[in-house]
Amino acid sequence: MKAQIKGMGHALPERILDNKELEQMVDTSEKWILERTGIRERRIIDDSETTSDLAYRAALMAIGNAGISVEELDLIIVATASPDMLFPATACVVQEKLGAWNAAAFDIAAGCTGFVYGITVAEKFLLSPEYNNILVIGAEALSRIIDYTDATTCVLFGDGAGAAVLSRSDSEAGIIASYLGADGRGGQHLYIPAGGAAQPASLETVEKGLHFLKMNGNEIFRFATKTTVEVSEKIFAMTGVKAEDIDLFIPHQSNMRIIKTAMKWMQIPPEKTMITVDQYGNMSAACLPVGLSLAAEEGQLKAGDLVLMVAFGAGLTYGGVLLRWGSD
Q: Which residues are catalytic?
A: 112, 252, 282
Q: For residues 159 and 286, what is the distance between their CA atoms, to the nearest angstrom?
A: 8
Can you give the length of the chain in residues?
A: 328
Strand ranges of the sheet holding 174-182, from the earlier edge strand across to the other edge:
174-182, 317-324, 306-313, 248-251
Cα–Cα nearest to 8, from 296, 280, 275: 296
User: How large is the angle between the packed helices 217-239 and 256-266, nearest 10 degrees?
Assistant: 30
Cα–Cα nearest to 94, from 37, 139, 143, 131: 139
First to last CA, the chain: 13
Residue 165, H or E segment: strand 160-169
Break the chain down into helix, strand, coil percent, rounded to 5.
40, 25, 35
Q: For residues 7 and 301, what is the distance between their CA atoms, to the nearest angstrom?
A: 13
